Amino acid sequence: MRYYIIAGEASGDLHGSNLIKALKLKDPKAVVRCWGGDLMQQAGGTLVKHYKEMAFMGFLEVLGNLRTIFKNIAFCKEDIQAFGPDVIIFIDYSGFNLRIAQWARENGFRTNYYISPQIWASREGRIKKIKRDIDAMYVILPFEKDFYEKKHGYKVSFVGHPLIDAIGDRPQPDDTGFRVENGLDPKKPIIALLPGSRKQEVQKMLSVMLSVTESFGDYQFVIAGAPSLERDFYAPFLKKPSVGFVSNRTYDLLSLSYAALVTSGTATLETALFKIPQVVCYKGNWLSYQIAKRIITLDYISLVNLIMDREVVKELIQGNLNTKNLRSELAKILDDDRRKKLFEAYYELEQKLGGKGASEKTATCIVENA
């Protein structure tokens, strides 16, 4: 069969690549055309457009790039029409994907959604579009099934979280070799800095994260460089002697870290699954934040706390994300008693996410129902 997959971010590229691998196992004759990144291309998809060209963050940034966004939408429709897929698979990235889904349904294409838009967090009214335009939805968070089925009468499939496989199947890197290769101190424990993958958020987050480094001289801080950004972009942040840099090896870095400062997003869940104590950070454009605050109805912003339905990891948001607070919260997660409680909560979290095989379960459903 012919599959057209659309992902618009680094996390979507990861999950899309594993889905492509699973599809090819279930359907050896699968032909995959995709919007995504290097990982999806390496998995065997023909890459149409890279997510680096599509990553716009916040309301103001989106408004400033409307012309590009509409050009991408028009091009995507033309490309789908020319390819003629048996099924279109959307991965998160709802602002773009729901527009394409409406057009796809009107033009007779079968539509599947893998990794639900976060309509449980904001703009719940989008459920009408999903019911109208999506033939099958595969969700990865345990509370999403009740949200869709009990609250909105829309049947979905809970397939478990793909990060369980992506993280659980990775070999442990050699600590000494990793440190030597990346010019890191051979003995100091590592505190990982995960500032995000978009230029706007990295610029906002790193300056605050780096402001605490001098207070923790017994540790070394290492920035996880995003695959979407060049090393030169990080150069201004690498002037402190206590700060290292690792490009496109976030999982290896996390697996060897003692603690982490993490920008809110998928990375908070990844860090938890590596069992690394963390402080969750978020600071956005002032106007974008004011708008988001009025439409998002959640008690927490990190996936860890949302899934557990309680505060497991500390969240420092907007004005509360400052040097004083960050220094205080980082000190807490370096304490042995606090770390033990976090580890216990992390194990409980992993149980809630279901077992292995999310990509395989999703691929099986897509192939059998297409």
pLDDT in tens, 127-177: 999 999 999 999 999 999 999 999 999 999 999 999 998 898 789 999 999
CA gyration radius for the chain?
Answer: 21
Residue 61's pLDDT is what? 55
Give how far Cα 19 sits from Cα of 30, 33, 55, 133, 135, Å. Answer: 12, 13, 21, 21, 18
Residue 68's pLDDT is what? 79
Query: All domains of the chain, ordered by start, with CATH?
Result: 2-161+354-369 (3.40.50.2000), 168-352 (3.40.50.2000)
φ, ψ of residue 230 to 5 degrees: the values are -75, 155
Q: Which of 172, 272, 274, 183 is nearest to 223 (CA)?
A: 183
Residue 121's pLDDT is what? 85
Residue 291's pLDDT is what? 54
Residues paired with 222 in a beta bridge = 192, 244
Say what angle helices 94-106 and 66-83 make with each other, to 10 degrees. 40
Residue 154's pLDDT is what? 98
Q: Which of 80, 100, 82 is nearest to 90 (CA)?
A: 100
Residue 367's pLDDT is what? 96
Exposed e or buried b for every residue in 138-152, given b needs 16+ CB within 10 A? bbbbeebbebbeeeb
> What band does 9 get if pLDDT is binned at 50, 70 and 90?
confident
Average pLDDT rounded to a whole number, residues 275-286: 87
pLDDT at residue 64 above 60?
no
**pTM of the predicted model, to two decimals?**
0.83
Contact 358, 156 (CB under 8 A): no
3-state SS of 152-172?
Answer: HCCCCEECCCCHHHHHHCCCC
Alpha helices in the chain (DSSP H): 10-26, 38-42, 59-64, 66-83, 94-106, 127-133, 142-146, 152, 163-168, 175-181, 199-209, 231-234, 250-255, 266-273, 286-295, 303-308, 323-333, 336-352, 358-369
pLDDT at residue 239 above 90?
no
> What band does 65 get if pLDDT is binned at 50, 70 and 90?
low
Which helix (H) or strand (E) segment holds residue 221: the answer is strand 220-225
Return the percentage of the chain with pLDDT > 70, whole number: 94
